[in-house]
């Protein structure tokens, strides 16, 4: 029987059924028992549910899904003993804060219109295949930069910190916001009020995946979080 590691909390943090705390002084790692079977997508969803449930009762430093240990002593050695001072500082820093992931989708026509208004030369006629390709590249680069800047302007003031996330779509921007848990309603209302060339969708509250730095050794082969 191995242990699946979920997150780091303060000792005494409430635990749901099926979870237990591996404690070292005032810190604890939340773990659950797993057999030898391969972890599944359902296990990944359960891992996120565990972290969100823990978040309701205080700060949690999320560990990547798939982080495991053979026994409790290994959990302490790998996750708690290397740098407890840093873990305490991170827990203190994110107390009362949660992550909200935001997707901003822009209307392509309105973005291009705004770009041309700022730089009329972008729409100037060109001749030749190479020139057309180069113009397309310039417009694409300018559009991405414009959307990133506009996203920062729209989200400014909603969060204590924010991070732009990778996104394969050309017409949207993905961001992680670090916000106060008691400010979630205001953030949701501000996102709902967005109009014009951009619409927003959000997911949260989540553990602060993108805003913590953990001095621990467990590494997930899943890359979850």
Among left, alpha and beta (phi > 0; psi -120 to 50; other), residue 96 is left
Long-range contacts of 25-30 (CB under 8 A, 24+ apart): 25/84, 26/88, 27/80, 27/84, 27/87, 27/88, 27/91, 28/80, 29/5, 29/63, 29/75, 29/76, 29/79, 29/80, 30/5, 30/6, 30/54, 30/60
Tally of domains within the chain: 2
Distance, CA of 148 to CA of 167 (rounded, Å) = 12
Tens digits of residue pLDDT in 167-201: 766 678 899 999 999 999 999 999 998 877 888 99
| pLDDT > 60? residue 50 | yes
Tens digits of residue pLDDT in 4-43: 999 999 999 999 999 999 999 999 999 998 876 677 888 8
Distance, CA of 210 to CA of 62 (rounded, Å) = 10
In 3D space, the residue among 85, 49, 54 whose CA is nearest the CA of residue 65 turns out to be 49
Domain match, 201 and 114 both: yes
Contact (Cβ atoms closer than 8 angstroms) between residue 59 and residue 9? yes
Of 43, 65, 96, the one marking the end of a domain is 96
Domain match, 195 and 176 both: yes
Contact (Cβ atoms closer than 8 angstroms) between residue 158 and residue 179? yes
pLDDT band at 60 (very low <50, low <70, confident <90, very high): very high
- The CA angle 180-186-189, to the nearest 5 degrees, is 140
Domain extent, residue 14, equals: 2-96
Domain match, 102 and 196 both: yes
**pLDDT value, residue 85:** 94
Domain match, 191 and 181 both: yes
Of 62, 96, 130, the one marking the end of a domain is 96
Domain match, 148 and 136 both: yes
In a domain, 165, yes or no: yes
**pLDDT value, residue 2:** 86
């Amino acid at each position: 029987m191995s242990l699946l590691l979920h997150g780091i909390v303060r000792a005494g943090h409430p635990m749901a059924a099926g979870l237990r705390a591996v404690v070292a002084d005032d810190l604890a790692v939340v773990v659950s028992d797993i057999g030898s079977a391969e972890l599944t997508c359902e296990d990944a969803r359960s891992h996120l549910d565990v972290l969100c449930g823990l978040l309701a009762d205080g700060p949690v430093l999320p560990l990547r899904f798939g982080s495991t240990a053979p026994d409790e002593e290994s959990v302490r050695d790998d996750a708690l003993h290397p740098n407890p001072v840093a873990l305490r500082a991170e827990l203190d820093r994110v107390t009362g804060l949660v992550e909200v992931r935001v997707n901003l989708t822009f209307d392509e026509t309105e973005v291009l219109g705004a770009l041309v208004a700022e730089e009329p030369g972008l729409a100037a006629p060109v001749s030749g295949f190479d020139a057309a390709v180069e113009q397309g590249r310039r417009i694409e680069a300018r559009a991405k930069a414009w959307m990133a800047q506009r996203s920062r302007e729209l989200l400014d003031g909603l969060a204590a910190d924010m991070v732009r996330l990778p996104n394969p779509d050309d017409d949207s921007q993905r961001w992680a916001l670090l916000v106060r848990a008691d400010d979630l309603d205001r953030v949701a209302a501000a996102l709902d009020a967005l109009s014009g060339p951009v619409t927003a969708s959000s997911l949260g509250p989540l553990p602060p995946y993108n805003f913590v730095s953990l001095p621990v050794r467990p590494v997930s082969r899943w890359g979850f979080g």
